[in-house]
Amino acid sequence: MILYILRRLLAAVPTLLAVLTLVFVIVRIVPGDPAIAILGDRATPDAVAALRTKLGLDQPLWAQYATFLGHSLTGDFGHSMVTGRPILSDVGAVLPHTIDLTLASLLVGSVIGIPVGIWAALHRNRAIDYAARLLSLIGLSFPVFVSGIFVLLVFALHWRLFPVIGNARLDDPLDRLDKLVLPAATLGLVMAAYITRVTRSAMLAVLGEDYIRTARAKGVPWRRVVWRHGLRNAAMPVVTVVGLYIGILIGNSVLTEIVFNRPGLGKIIVGALNQRDYTMLQGLMVIYCFLIVVVNLITDLTYGLIDPRVKQ
Amino acid sequence: MSGDVATSPAGAAAASPATLPPRARRGVLGATLRFIRQHPATAAGFFLCALVVFAAVFAPWLAPFDPNDQHIIDRLAPPGGDYVFGTDSYGRDVLSRILYGARISLLVAVSSIAAAIAVGGTIGMVSAYVGGRFDLFVMQCMDVLLSFPSLILGLIVVALLGPDLGNLVFAIALTAIAPFARIARAPVLTLKERAFIEAGRALGFSHVRILFVHVLPNILSEVLVMGSLWMATAVRTEASLSFIGLGVKPPTATWGGMMREGFENILDAPWLSVWPGLAILVLVLGLNMVGDGLRDATDPRMRGES
C-alpha cells in the first residue's frame, strides 16, 4: 500500500506543475498592463513603473515563472494587491467554512444518493425507479443558485425555519450547524441526484454479471448478494464520480456562498474579481488546483482500498 | 438529390403534412404518437426545448411590452393584471424579459458548444489519429484543463477579458473543449485500425481527407449526442455567470441577470427570482431529457440505465 501511495504521489507532481503553468499563462495573457489596471488610466508613468517593479513584472518572463513556481511550491502565495494582507491568511480564515460546506454536501449527497440509486436498480422499470430517475434528472437540471434561492424563499423567508444570513461563528458548533443546513441541503441535493444516477447504472451493470447469478444459484440470500457481491463491485464508479464531483462542488460553492451570504473561498474569489486583485486571483487559482489535485489523489487512494487489484 | 425532391410538385407535397394524402398523414401523426408513447421522457424534453425555441424566435410578437420599457408607476407590481409575471424594480415587464432572455441563453449555449465541438473534437480526433507521444502530451494538457472547476475557470476568464457576449461564449467553450476532446478521441483509437482507413491510406488519401471525410462521419453522432447534454451545462454556466454579474451587460435581458436583480429584491418581490428560475429549469431539464434520449437511442446498451 505504501508503494502504491508513493506512486500516486509521484504521478500527481507533473499534473500539479502543468496546472501551475496554466495558471501563470492565464494571468499573463490578459490584455493590458496589470499595473495600469490596478492604478487606473490616469496614473503617472513613474507610479506604473514602481508598481511593475514591486510586482516583478519588469523581470523577464522565465524569471517571473521561476519565482512564481518557487513561491507556489513553498506555500508563499504573496499578498493581496488591495488589502496588502498575506493571501494564505485570508484564505485560512474562511477555509473552514468552505470545508464544512463541501463535506456536509458530500454527506447529504451520499446518504441520499447511494440508497436511492440501489433501490432504483433493484426495482428496475417499476414506479419507484421511474420516480428516482425523474427526480434525479430534475435535481441535475437545477442550477445551484436557482435551487438555493428557492430553498431560501421557502425555508428561511416563508417558514422561517432557518436563518437567512449564513455567517456562522466558528467557535460555536450549534450556530455552525444551524447555518450550514440550508446551503448543505442545496448543494447536497444536486449531488444526490448525480450519485443516484451513477449508483443505479453501476448496480444494474453489476447485477447482470455471471458471478451474481452464480451466487444466487448457490442459494446465497438476496440481501447478502446485493451487499457483499453487488455493492462492493459497484462502488468503483460511484467513488470515481464522487471524486470528480468534488471539483464541481467546489465551483458550485461560489454560488451557494453568494446566495446564503456565507464566507468562503467563493466569496473571496468574487471579491477579488470585482476589485481586479490579480495576485489574490492567482493565489486562489493555485489553491483551488491544489485542492482538486489532493481530492483526485484521495480518490485514487480510495480505489486501492476498495479494489485490491488496483494496487498491483 | 434532396433539392430535386423539394422543388418537384411531389416533393413539395411530401414536405407539407397538411397536403399529405390521408394514409400518409396518419403515418406522420401515427409515428409522432408512437414516439411519444415509446419515449415519453424524450418527447417531453423535445416539447420543453421547442417551447423555449418558440419563445426566443417569436419574442417580438409574443411579448406584451418592450423588454426594456420602464413603467415606473408600476414598479415591483405583483403578477396579474396587465403584467402576467409582474414587473421588476425598474417597472419592466418580467414576462417580456423572460421571452427575450431565451434568445441569449440559446445563443450562448449553441455557439459555445458548437465552438467546443469544433475545437475539442478536432484536437481529440487528431490526437488519437497521430497517436504515440503526441497523443499522450495532448491528453495530459486536456487533463490539466479538466482539473480546473469549470465554473471557476469560466468566472476568471470572463472577469479578466471583460463581460460581453463574445467573451462569455469563449469562456464556456473553453470549459467544454477538454471533455469533447476525450469524447472524440476514444472512438478514433479503434477506428484508425479498421480496414477502410487502411485502404484510404493505401490509396494515397491525405490525412486531412481520411480524418474529415472517413473518420468524422463515424464519430459525429456520438459527439452530437454529448453536445445536447453539454448544452444543458452551457445554459447553467451562462446563467450562473450572469447571476454573479459577469454575463451580458444590462439592460439586455438574461435569465441569470434577472435572477440577480430578483435576488436583490427578494424580500419585497420574491416572484422576480421565481419566474426566471423556472425558465432556466425548463430549458435545462428539456435539454437533459433530449440528451438522455438521444444517448439511449445511439447506444442500446444504455437503454433504461441512466
pLDDT tens-digit readout, A3-16: 777 887 787 788 78
Stronger pLDDT, B179 or A166, i.e. the higher one: B179
For residue B105, list chain A residues with Cβ-Cβ distance below 8 A. Answer: none
In chain A, pLDDT over 90 holds for what percent of residues? 15
Cα A286–Cα A289–Cα A290 angle in degrees, nearest 5: 85
For residue B9, what are the CA distances in angstroms to B4, B12, B18?
A: 10, 5, 14
Which residue type sits at A153?
L
For residue A75, what are the CA distances in angstroms to A55, A78, A85, A259, B150?
A: 18, 9, 15, 31, 24
Beta carbons of B71 and B91 less than 8 angstroms apart: yes
A184-214 pLDDT, tens digit each: 999 999 999 999 998 998 888 888 888 888 9
B82-125 pLDDT, tens digit each: 888 999 989 999 999 999 999 999 999 999 999 999 999 999 99
- Quick one: B149 exposed, middle or buried, by C-beta within 10 A (0-12, 13-18, 19+)? buried
Least confident of A266-275, B10-19, B280-289: B10-19
Q: Count of A–B CB contacts within 8 Å?
A: 129
Closest residue in A to B160 (Cα) is A30
pLDDT of residue B143 exceeding 90, the answer is no
Beta carbons of A201 and A241 less than 8 angstroms apart: no
Query: Hey, is the C-beta of A7 within 8 angstroms of any chain B C-beta?
Result: no
pTM over 0.90: no
In this complex, the residue of A125, A144, A288 whose CB is nearest that of residue B152 is A288
In this complex, the residue of B147, B157, B288 whose CB is nearest that of residue A15 is B147
Distance in Å, alpha carbon of A17 to nearest chain B alpha carbon: 9
Query: Hey, is the C-beta of A295 within 8 angstroms of any chain B C-beta?
Result: no
Residue B110, pLDDT score: 95
pLDDT category at B299 given cuts 50, 70, 90 is: low
pLDDT category at B5 given cuts 50, 70, 90 is: very low
For residue B305, list chain A residues with Cβ-Cβ distance below 8 A. Answer: 200-201, 204-205
Stronger pLDDT, B87 or A275, i.e. the higher one: B87
Rg (CA), chain A: 24
Beta carbons of B41 and B48 less than 8 angstroms apart: no
pLDDT category at A19 given cuts 50, 70, 90 is: confident
Contacts of B19 by beta carbon, 8 Å cutoff, 6+ apart: B12, B13
pLDDT of residue B207 exceeding 80, the answer is yes
Least confident of A72-86, A201-215, B39-53: A72-86
Mean pLDDT along residues B15-37:
68
Strand partners, A79: A86
pLDDT category at A81 given cuts 50, 70, 90 is: confident
B265-289 pLDDT, tens digit each: 888 888 899 999 999 999 999 999 9
Beta carbons of B244 and A270 less than 8 angstroms apart: yes
Least confident of A210-219, A231-240, B104-113: A231-240
Residue B148, pLDDT score: 75
pLDDT category at B7 given cuts 50, 70, 90 is: very low
Residue B4, pLDDT score: 37
Arithmetic mean of pLDDT over chain A = 84
How many Å apart are CA B201 and CA B210, to the nearest integer? 8
Rg (CA), chain B: 23
Map residue A193 onto helix, strand or coil.
helix
In this complex, the residue of A138, A201, A293 whose CB is nearest that of residue B305 is A201
* Main-chain phi, psi angles of A263, to 5 degrees: -70, 155
Whether B240 and A18 lie within 8 Å, measured CB to CB: no
Instruction: Give the residue extent of every domain in chain B.
Output: 42-298
Query: Hey, is the C-beta of A67 within 8 angstroms of any chain B C-beta?
Result: no
Beta carbons of B258 and B86 less than 8 angstroms apart: no
Query: Hey, is the C-beta of A247 within 8 angstroms of any chain B C-beta?
Result: yes
Query: Hey, is the C-beta of A269 within 8 angstroms of any chain B C-beta?
Result: yes
Residue A242, pLDDT score: 81
Cα A190–Cα A195–Cα A196 angle in degrees, nearest 5: 95
Least confident of A42-46, A191-195, B50-54: A42-46
pLDDT of residue B19 exceeding 60, the answer is no
Query: Hey, is the C-beta of A200 within 8 angstroms of any chain B C-beta?
Result: yes
B76: closest CA among B85, B89, B59?
A: B89
In this complex, the residue of B240, B244, B289 whose CB is nearest that of residue A137 is B289
Per the structure block, which three cell numbers stand in for A186? 442545496
Strand partners, B80: B83
Distance of alpha carbon A87 from the chain centroid: 20
Residue A105, pLDDT score: 92
Map residue A182 onto helix, strand or coil.
helix
Closest residue in B to A33 (Cα) is B160
Beta carbons of B101 and B55 less than 8 angstroms apart: no
Query: Hey, is the C-beta of A250 within 8 angstroms of any chain B C-beta?
Result: yes
Peptide bond into B251 cis (omega under 30): yes
Check: complex ipTM more than 0.90? no
Contacts of B98 by beta carbon, 8 Å cutoff, 6+ apart: B55, B85, B253, B255, B258, B275, B276, B279
Mean pLDDT along residues B288-297:
85
Mean pLDDT along residues B126-133:
90
Distance in Å, alpha carbon of B285 to nearest chain A alpha carbon: 5
Least confident of A60-64, B20-24, B88-92: B20-24
Residue B173, pLDDT score: 94
B167: closest CA among B103, B112, B110?
A: B112
For residue B160, list chain A residues with Cβ-Cβ distance below 8 A. Answer: 26-27, 30, 281
In this complex, the residue of A141, A145, A292 whose CB is nearest that of residue B288 is A141
In chain B, pLDDT over 90 holds for what percent of residues? 41
How many Å apart are CA B161 and CA A33, to the nearest integer? 13
Residue A284, pLDDT score: 85
For residue B143, list chain A residues with Cβ-Cβ distance below 8 A. Answer: 15
DSSP-derived secondary structure for chain B? -HHHHHHSHHHHHHH-GGGS-HHHHHHHHHHHHHHHHH-HHHHHHHHHHHHHHHHHHTHHHH-SS-TT---GGGTTPPSBTTBTT-B-TT--BHHHHHHHHHHHHHHHHHHHHHHHHHHHHHHHHHHHHH-HHHHHHHHHHHHHHHTS-HHHHHHHHHHHH-SSHHHHHHHHHHHHHHHHHHHHHHHHHHHTTSHHHHHHHHTT--HHHIIIIIIHHHHHHHHHHHHHHHHHHHHHHHHHHHHHT-SSPTTS--HHHHHHHHHHTTTT-THHHHHHHHHHHHHHHHHHHHHHHHHHHH-GGGTT--
Residue B306, pLDDT score: 46
Whether A152 and B266 lie within 8 Å, measured CB to CB: yes
Residue B12, pLDDT score: 41
Residue A160, pLDDT score: 84
Stronger pLDDT, B26 or B171, i.e. the higher one: B171
Neighbours of A290 (CB within 10 A): 15
Query: Hey, is the C-beta of A143 within 8 angstroms of any chain B C-beta?
Result: yes
Mean pLDDT along residues A36-49:
80
Beta carbons of A86 and A172 less than 8 angstroms apart: no
DSSP-derived secondary structure for A238-269? HHHHHHHHHHHHHHHHHHHHHHTT--SHHHHH
Distance in Å, alpha carbon of A143 to nearest chain B alpha carbon: 6
The CATH class that applies to domain B42-298 reads mainly alpha
Mean pLDDT along residues B160-182:
89
Map residue A143 onto helix, strand or coil.
coil
- Quick one: A288 exposed, middle or buried, by C-beta within 10 A (0-12, 13-18, 19+)? buried
Whether B285 and A125 lie within 8 Å, measured CB to CB: no
Closest residue in A to B270 (Cα) is A153
pLDDT of residue B75 exceeding 50, the answer is yes
Distance in Å, alpha carbon of A194 to nearest chain B alpha carbon: 10
Closest residue in B to A261 (Cα) is B263
Map residue A86 onto helix, strand or coil.
strand
pLDDT of residue B10 exceeding 70, the answer is no
A88-124 pLDDT, tens digit each: 888 888 888 888 898 999 999 999 999 999 999 999 8
How many Å apart are CA B64 and CA B176, to the nearest integer? 37
Distance in Å, alpha carbon of B213 to nearest chain A alpha carbon: 34
Contacts of B246 by beta carbon, 8 Å cutoff, 6+ apart: A273, B155, B158, B159, B163, B168
pLDDT of residue B8 exceeding 50, the answer is no
How many Å apart are CA B225 and CA B292, to the nearest integer? 8
Query: Hey, is the C-beta of A190 within 8 angstroms of any chain B C-beta?
Result: no
B158: closest CA among A52, B150, A97, B220?
A: B150
In this complex, the residue of A146, A204, A250 whose CB is nearest that of residue B305 is A204
